[in-house]
């Protein structure tokens, strides 16, 4: 039995040994402290038996601690294993519950499908921004698919091709560096165009069509990237029906080339826009030209269209009869849609018999108002002239300076008249117009006596745009904008526009198909003058709308004039157009951003009216 130092309370030590529930030190430091306390109370050295008893006591304490820690570790491991088993089971249960819920929801959805959109129109505030996939991986994968369809030689990624299909020197929209197609495609058949659209529809790739590239309002700029379909290889006249006076052509047939081929059959195609224009673009913009006063616009000369829709579907709008009351007039719906509803791959056009006799006359006036007043007199008299064109004094000066015609012109506001009909009828028209020009203050009047003189007199009108561009300063850009107003308001708007241009300090000219109230402003400006040019055109457009006119007579809407449409037509009319776009092209793949917006504009993007 252990011996205790004298004076030590036995009951206390006995109590310590006999109380297993007493807290035991959990660390060597605690045990050392205990030993120190004991040694301080018992300064006498212990015997070997006492040391043995102390070591035994420490071993018991440490053993108890070790066992307790082992039990706790075992408990933790068992709990972890059980928790893992429970978590796995819970995961399976949650997965099953989720799948079951999805299945039940799908089944209930088939029983109770959501109601379709019941709105007749699509306001801009309710649109959802288009989601296109133009990332590099998707475009490269599409490139492989497109090469398989067309062959590698008809899929171009050359920088010069990409730049050429993004903008032009005469476009009023300034294309950004990012507004470039990934590649340019050159199909040769409707079937190939259909296969291209199936690939782009599946991969959500935006598409822009391209034919002559002569458009002026940013029509073919690929604002969303994607691919450009160039119809250059689709340039054939497919069929000519002389007895029915119609012809079937592909979109890259130029109107000038078409008339050269029709001339051998004593026929011609009346719409005559600017040089270089092709049938596809002419259909897309609903263009007209100098002959519009007598023969009408492109809408009057298209019988039927073959169109590829956004998902690759091919449709034909109607057959070849001159008239039909069968269903909706889809032909006219696609005319003027600028490639936003479908891609035209064939067009059946009406043609006319060439007139037996033609002539041209030129009359100069002291002011632009005198010239416009003469037009009103001619139209009011019902004289069936083929065309009436106006060129202001600045334009005549540009033509002289450019030297692109064979003669020197009087630098005054000038009217160009074209006559067509029988020989006797043409002579009568010329004399009647000559008399009216004199009454309107005309200072000169000359008419062509031969075909060569006709080409010479008319050449000034055809060279108007190029002559203005030729006299520009280095670094100048050209902006060609058009509006149209009722004939009675034409003298007012032409004169006001002329005065506004003078106040702006910019140089520009006025040219117009004034026989139907349509005129053009050809404006030169540099980068520093861009804002002034924008304001001048903006004011001209606003002036036309306030005079019950239109924001564009023949150039089309494109990017530049889309925000003017609500002011001319009303918000609900544009909302209806947007709904039509959504119906034909739900993913907004075809020439996105043109004609109508399909998502809200950024702050400050739209000019105040």
What confidence tens digit (pLDDT) does each residue in 478-491 have? 999 999 999 888 88
Q: Of the candidates 560, 577, 600, which is a domain's last residue? A: 560
Residues 344 and 369 in one domain: no
Residue 368 shares a structural domain with residue 328: no
DSSP letter, residue 210: E
| Whether pLDDT at 23 is above 80 | no
Whether 50 shows a pLDDT value over 60: the answer reads no
The domain of 244 spans 237-353
The enclosing H or E element of 101 equals helix 48-111
On whether both 313 and 377 belong to a single domain, the answer is no
User: Does 607 fall in a domain?
Assistant: no
Average pLDDT of the chain is 88
Query: Does residue 70 belong to any structural domain of this protein?
Result: no
Q: Per the structure, how many domains does the chain have?
A: 4
Beta bridge partners, 477, equal 525
In which band, very low, low, confident or very high, does the pLDDT at 510 lie, cut at 50, 70 and 90? very high
Does the residue 598 lie in any domain?
Answer: no
Give yes or no: residues 163 and 259 share one domain: no
Give the sheet arrangement for strand 444-447, strand by strand.
Answer: 444-447, 357-364, 414-421, 387-391, 507-513, 518-525, 477-484
Asked whether residue 226 falls in the same domain as residue 244, the answer is no
Residue 240: pLDDT band by 50, 70, 90 thresholds? very high
Res 85: pLDDT: 67
Residues 376 and 512 in one domain: yes
pLDDT at 335 > cutoff 80: yes
- CATH number, domain of 189, equals 3.30.43.10
Q: Are residues 292 and 245 in the same domain?
A: yes
Residue 278 has pLDDT above 80, yes or no: yes
In the prediction, which pLDDT does 544 show? Answer: 97
d(CA 487, CA 364): 20
Same domain for 23 and 144, yes or no, is no
Same domain, 162 and 28: no
Ranges 46-50, 157-161, 576-580: which has the least confidence: 46-50
Residue 299 has pLDDT above 90, yes or no: yes
Report yes or no on 568 lying in a domain: no
Mean per-residue pLDDT, 278-298: 94
N-term to C-term CA, the chain:
112
Kindly report, residue by residue over 171-224, the tens digit of the pLDDT.
Answer: 999 899 999 999 999 999 999 999 999 999 999 999 999 999 999 999 999 999
CATH number at residue 540: 3.40.462.10
For 116-142, give one letter per residue: b (16+ CB within 10 A) or e.
eeeeeebebeebeebebebeeeebeeb
Would 84 be classed as within a structural domain? no
Q: How far is CA 534 from the centre of its chain?
A: 20
Which residues make Cβ contacts (< 8 Å) with residue 304, sequence separation at least 6? Answer: 316, 317, 318, 319, 320, 331, 347, 348
- Same domain assignment for residues 533 and 424: yes
Is residue 91, in this structure, part of any structural domain at all?
Answer: no
The answer to whether residues 282 and 255 touch, using CB atoms and an 8 Å cutoff, is yes
E strands, 261-412, where? 267-268, 302-308, 314-316, 343-350, 352-353, 357-364, 387-391
Question: What percent of the chain lies above the pLDDT cut of 90?
Answer: 68
Residue 247: give its domain's CATH number.
3.30.465.10
Task: Using only the alpha carbons of the chain, give its radius of gyration.
Answer: 43
pLDDT at 28: 45
The last residue of one of the domains, among 205, 230, 255, is: 230
pLDDT, residue 9, reads: 43
Domain end residue (candidates: 197, 230, 263): 230
The reply to whether 593 falls in a domain is: no
Task: Report yes or no on 175 lying in a domain.
Answer: yes
| pTM of structure | 0.81
Does 218 lie in the same domain as 306?
no
Model pLDDT, residue 18:
40
Bridge partners, 418 (sequence order) = 360, 387
Instruction: Determine the pLDDT at residue 11.
Output: 41
* pLDDT tens-place string over residues 94-141: 888 888 888 887 777 777 777 778 899 999 999 999 999 999 999 999
Do 405 and 431 lie in one domain? The reply is yes
3-state DSSP assignment of residue 129: coil
Average pLDDT over residues 277-295: 94
């Amino acid at each position: 039995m252990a011996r205790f130092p004298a004076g030590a309370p036995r009951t206390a030590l006995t109590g310590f040994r006999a109380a297993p529930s007493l807290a035991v030190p959990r660390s060597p430091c605690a045990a050392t402290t205990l030993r120190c306390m004991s040694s301080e109370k018992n300064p006498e050295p212990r015997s070997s038996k006492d040391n043995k008893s102390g070591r035994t006591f420490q071993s018991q304490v440490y053993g108890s601690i070790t066992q307790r820690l082992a039990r706790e570790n075992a408990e933790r491991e068992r709990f972890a294993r059980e928790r893992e088993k429970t978590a796995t089971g819970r995961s399976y249960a949650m997965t099953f519950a989720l799948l079951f819920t999805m299945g039940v929801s799908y089944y209930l959805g088939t029983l109770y499908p959501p109601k379709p959109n019941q709105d007749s129109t699509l306001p801009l505030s309710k649109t959802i921004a288009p989601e296109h996939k133009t990332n590099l991986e998707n475009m490269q994968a599409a490139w492989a698919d497109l090469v398989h369809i067309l062959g590698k030689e008809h899929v171009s990624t050359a920088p010069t091709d990409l730049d050429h299909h993004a903008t032009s020197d005469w476009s009023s929209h300034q294309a950004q560096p990012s507004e470039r197609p990934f590649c340019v495609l050159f199909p040769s058949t409707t079937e190939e165009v259909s296969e291209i659209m199936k690939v782009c529809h599946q991969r959500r790739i935006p598409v822009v069509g391209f034919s002559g590239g002569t458009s002026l309002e940013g029509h073919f700029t690929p604002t969303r990237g994607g691919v450009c379909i160039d119809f250059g290889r689709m340039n054939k006249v497919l069929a000519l029906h002389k007895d029915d006076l119609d012809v079937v052509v592909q979109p890259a047939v130029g109107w000038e080339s078409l008339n050269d081929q029709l001339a051998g059959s004593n026929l011609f195609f009346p719409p005559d826009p600017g040089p270089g224009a092709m049938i596809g673009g002419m259909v897309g913009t609903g263009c007209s030209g100098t002959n519009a006063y007598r023969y009408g616009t492109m809408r009057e000369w298209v019988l039927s269209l073959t169109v590829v829709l956004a998902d690759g579907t091919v449709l034909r709008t109607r057959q070849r009869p001159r008239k039909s009351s069968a269903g909706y007039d889809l032909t006219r719906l696609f005319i003027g849609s600028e490639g936003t509803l479908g891609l035209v791959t064939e067009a059946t056009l009406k043609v006319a018999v060439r007139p037996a006799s033609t002539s041209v006359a030129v009359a100069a006036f002291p002011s632009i108002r005198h010239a416009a007043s003469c037009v009103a007199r001619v139209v009011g008299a019902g004289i069936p002239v083929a065309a009436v064109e106006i060129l202001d004094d600045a334009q005549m000066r540009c033509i002289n300076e450019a030297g692109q015609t064979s003669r020197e012109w009087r630098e005054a506001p000038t009217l160009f008249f074209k006559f067509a009909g029988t020989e006797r009828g043409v002579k009568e028209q010329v004399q009647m117009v000559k008399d009216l020009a004199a009454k309107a203050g005309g200072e000169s009047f000359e008419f062509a006596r031969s075909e060569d003189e006709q080409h010479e007199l008319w050449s000034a009108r055809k060279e108007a745009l190029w002559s203005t561009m030729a006299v520009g300063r280095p670094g100048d850009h050209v902006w060609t904008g058009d509006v149209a107003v009722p004939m009675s308001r034409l003298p007012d708007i032409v004169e006001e526009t002329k005065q506004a241009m003078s106040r702006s300090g910019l140089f520009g000219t006025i040219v117009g198909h004034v026989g139907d109230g349509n005129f053009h402003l050809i404006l030169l400006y540099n980068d520093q003058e861009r804002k002034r040019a924008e304001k001048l055109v903006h004011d001209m457009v606003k002036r036309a709308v306030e005079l019950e006119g239109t924001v564009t007579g023949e150039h089309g809407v494109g990017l530049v004039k889309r925000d003017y449409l609500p002011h001319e037509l009303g918000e609900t009319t544009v909302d209806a157009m947007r709904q039509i776009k959504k119906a034909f092209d739900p993913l907004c793949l075809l020439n996105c951003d043109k004609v109508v917006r399909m998502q809200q504009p950024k702050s400050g993007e739209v000019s105040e009216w």
